[in-house]
Amino acid sequence: MTFDGKVALITGAAGNLGRAVGAAFHASGASVVLVDVDARALNDAYGATAARRLLLAADLIDEASIASAVQAAREKLGRIDILCNVAGGFDAGPPVHETPASMWQRMFDLNATSVVNTVKAVVPGMIERKAGNIINVAAAASARGQPNMAAYGVAKNAVVRLTESMAAELRPHGLSVCCVMPTIIDTPQNRKAMPDADTSQWTPPEAIAEVMLFLGSDAAMIMNGCAIVLSGAGRGKLHGSGR
């Protein structure tokens, strides 16, 4: 699968999953716009802007900030063909009745508002060209309520509902919108935090990136609106760091 001549924008690009997704699209021929709130983390991860690679710092919770970054990407690369909404965040919490308003807001902002603000900046250009692919990242854990994870689960469930709504709204304009729902991503951080956990059902970031490559292709229109649960390392051939 090649993406020669395509431009892919990846949010949360300094994180482990963001790095895997950016590397996959770049290796497949795409120019990549790597967006993260932390400019230093971007530089540490990638070094600097280079051929077919543009690094941009932006706060996805700030509409003006991400709009400015998207405009800079368009001025440099002409357009955005593929949007990968990887940025997000996780916090476990207390029971629902003890969860503070600040946690509800933080989880919703990091996981859902970030998607809304980014698509607001990117989608008009895709509609104008009548083509584009959007891939959102939710979580398998959001498919069912979990104890002490309500704020996170609700926010990630919102990402699935946003995916479905956008898919219906944008299909007439030639756009595909899909969503992946990984289980716990196999990262050094997660392995350190849960040293005794069974990692066989954790999701390797490189494998997630491969699925997202397909969802960034023209063939993904047949799956428009899908939310795909991703779980397990399969035969153990894929290993790596994650989000």
Whether residue 232 is predicted with pLDDT greater than 80 in this model: the reply is no
Gap between the Cα atoms of 58 and 85, Å rounded: 13
- 3-class secondary-structure state, position 200: helix
Distance CA 221, CA 177 (A): 8
Q: How confident is the model at residue 47 (pLDDT cuts 50, 70, 90)?
A: confident
- 25, 90, 152, 202: the catalytic one is 152
pLDDT digits (tens, 9 = 90+) for 48-68: 778 899 999 999 999 999 999
**Domain locations along the chain:** 7-230
Sorting pLDDT into bands at 50, 70 and 90, what band is 243? Answer: low
Question: Looking at residue 241, what is its pLDDT?
Answer: 32
Q: d(Cα 6, Cα 126) in Å, to the nearest integer? A: 13
Residue 231: band (very low, low, confident or very high) from pLDDT cuts 50, 70, 90: confident
pLDDT score of 13: 98
Per-residue pLDDT at 221 = 95
Answer yes or no: 46 catalytic.
no
Whole-structure pTM value: 0.93
Structural contact between residues 124 and 79, judged by C-beta atoms closer than 8 angstroms: no
Q: Does domain 7-230 have CATH number 3.40.50.720?
A: yes
Dump pLDDT digits (tens) for 207-218.
999 999 999 999
Q: Is the pLDDT of residue 129 over 90?
A: yes
Q: Where are the beta strands (DSSP E) in the chain?
A: 7-11, 31-36, 53-57, 82-85, 132-137, 175-182, 227-230
Q: What is the pLDDT of residue 242?
A: 38
Q: Looking at residue 201, what is its pLDDT?
A: 85
Distance between CA atoms of 96 and 71, rounded to whole angstroms?
40
206 near 186, Cβ under 8 Å? no
